[in-house]
Copies of this chain bind each other. A is one copy, B any other.
Amino acid sequence: MSVSTQTTVLSGHSIIAGRETPGNAGTTRGIDPATNAELEPAYTLIDEAQLAEATAAAEEAFESFSALDPETHAGFLETIAANIEAVGPELVDRAATETGLPKPRLQGELARTTGQLRLFARVVRQGDHRGVRIEPPLPERTPLPRPDLRQRKVPLGPVAVFGASNFPFAFSTAGGDTASALAAGCPVIFKAHNAHPGTGEIVGHALTEAVAACGLHPGVFSLVYGPGASIGQALAKDPAVKAVGFTGSRGAGTALMATAAARPEPIPVYAEMSSINPVFLFDSALRGDADEFARAYVTSLTGSSGQLCTNPGLLFVPAGEAGDAFLTAVDRALAGAEGATMLTPGIARSCRDGIDALGAQDGVEVVARGKEGATENAPAPVVFGTQVPTFLSNPVLQEEIFGASSLVIRYGSADDLVVAAARMEGQLTASLFLSEKDLPTAAPLLPVLERKVGRILANGWPTGVDVGDAMVHGGPFPATSDSRTTSVGTLAIERFLRPVAYQNIPDALLPAPVQAANPWHLNRRVDGRIELAGDSAEDRA
């Protein structure tokens, strides 16, 4: 292990509305998956009565937090980012120990997490997500006059967020779901991931201190450690909670969806779950350096021990010489690759089970296999191979194996690709490797892929998700529970908003975004046309 720069004394407790709260329901411990050693401290787990304190505080915080002025609101997100950066080195150390992920990867992820908070702060200041629409009154309209109508989006209410094990920063305590819910104006109750409890606590303190520093109601954020699924179910059932953000397995995600749908008041669940991310190689794309191409594939496949939602799990390779040469190169590239420590013993076990199950299917064979890693929980990466008809006839071949496992499908014609794509479940991504002359062949695949995935890439591997304005990290079920949105990028904020219309309401009662004077300088849709803030009469004056 590296020399620790850790300075925070970890308490091992939940933080409920700003207060360290020892739990009444037993303890859990993080473990170092490279050695299976248990880590200090033990983490106390809360019971349902303690959880109710967190949700009640969030409910209480909602009114003031949801009405925050843009400058204070954006400053809050920026303070969280700064506070996280201030403990960056110890965060990376702790996360590396708890997750087995390499430090450079974690450093990059930390930068993504703080960058995301700052990006969302810019959106909060700019304000287009507030969706202001104005229809001035038309008293002379026949047969009926038009009233004064003003629309804006308001936050849904407190949001329950469940973090992912595979992104201890970017999809965890202050990750995408938390950041987008806070940017929308929703208090967050974060269910800590028990696989990285110390990392969660350090981030939780950074966030809690930002709440205090910005003078916000302490109920704006709580971090709770609880006994696995039961506390998660209780959280999703709590009447104060108005939406759920989740990243994790299909089983856990669909369980949350069922719970949310069965509530007396059903609520939206944004669950990012399962994807095998098909990659389509066109013949000409394989005409270059087969070894270089194979190495890029193996890098995408084995990075973070394959534990990425956008891992290339399915590879369509043309029959014939170029495809053969590519697979020989994959065999060479993978032979030297060693398994890397996975996040938890349970995940490593599931990965091995998945690999065994896939290898046992009729018509599926091993194309290439790497070596077991030297640490614990480091299964050998593997690439399987099959043919299109086998893929079409056996749904097991579409099941995600979370880890460095991929299935190559040899295909004969571009029609095969359209047929296979049409039969696929929903995915986060689809990738095409093609050259200029493949465009006419690839064109019929595009509309099929648009119905199946959230992001289509050309000549790039699906791992690596840019956090920006145009990103979609989402897709039809089972990739996510709700294809109408994204869990990465600025559009994610809109998941936690709903529209409200104001009809003939006196200006003095209107909230700032829809007041006549436009005090927040928002772009607004007036009479059906966008009016940029700089173009309004007031701004010109």
Chain A residues within 8 Å of B, Cβ to Cβ: 62-63, 66-67, 108, 111, 122-123, 126, 128, 133-135, 143-144, 146-147, 149-151, 154, 156-157, 257-258, 261, 265-266, 268, 426, 432, 436, 439, 442-443, 446-447, 450-451, 453-460, 464, 466, 468-472, 474, 476-478, 481-486, 490-491, 497-506, 508-509, 511, 523, 525, 527-530, 532
Contact = CB atoms under 8 A, between A and B. Distances in A.
Contact of A501 (B122, B144, B471): B471
A292 B280 CA distance: 72
24 contacts: A128-B530, A135-B469, A135-B470, A149-B471, A151-B469, A151-B472, A154-B450, A156-B483, A157-B451, A257-B261, A265-B426, A268-B482, A432-B505, A436-B506, A446-B511, A453-B500, A459-B504, A466-B503, A470-B525, A476-B498, A484-B497, A485-B499, A486-B499, A491-B499
Contacts of A523: 530
A154 B474 CA distance: 13
A454 B501 contact: yes
A458 B525 CA distance: 22
Contacts of A426: 265
Chain A, interface SS category: mixed
A151 B471 CA distance: 7
Nearest to A108: B143
Given A439-B506, A486-B499, 7 more contacts: A126-B529, A128-B525, A133-B469, A442-B509, A458-B506, A484-B497, A491-B499
Nearest to A434: B506
Contacts of A108: 143
Contact of A456 (B490, B500, B508): B500
Nearest to A134: B470
A526 to B, nearest CB: 9
A504 B460 CA distance: 8
Nearest to A494: B484
A247 B529 CA distance: 29
Contact of A457 (B432, B456, B504): B504
Most buried by B among A108, A498, A532: A498
Contacts of A150: 470
Copies of this protein chain in the complex: 2
A290 to B, nearest CB: 22
A135 B458 CA distance: 16
B466 A149 contact: yes
Nearest to A436: B506
A477 B482 CA distance: 18
A315 to B, nearest CB: 18
Contact of A503 (B146, B151, B456, B500): B456
Given A439-B509, A499-B472, A458 B504 contact: yes
Contact of A484 (B67, B268, B451): B268
Contact of A468 (B146, B504, B529): B146
A468 B500 contact: no
Given A257-B261, A509-B442, A472 B501 contact: yes
A250 to B, nearest CB: 12
A129 B143 CA distance: 28
A104 B451 CA distance: 44
Most buried by B among A439, A455, A472, A481: A472
A30 to B, nearest CB: 29
A481 B135 contact: no
A453 to B, nearest CB: 7
Contact of A483 (B446, B490, B498): B498
Most buried by B among A111, A500, A504: A500
A128 to B, nearest CB: 7
A369 to B, nearest CB: 30
A468 B143 contact: no
Contact of A258 (B134, B261, B469): B261
A133 B470 contact: yes
A469 B499 contact: no
B439 A508 contact: yes
B471 A498 contact: no
A380 B268 CA distance: 41
Given A67-B447, A468-B135, A501 B439 contact: no
A508 B123 CA distance: 32
A302 to B, nearest CB: 19
A413 to B, nearest CB: 19
A273 to B, nearest CB: 12
Contacts of A530: 128, 523, 530, 532
B499 A474 contact: yes
A425 to B, nearest CB: 8
B144 A509 contact: no
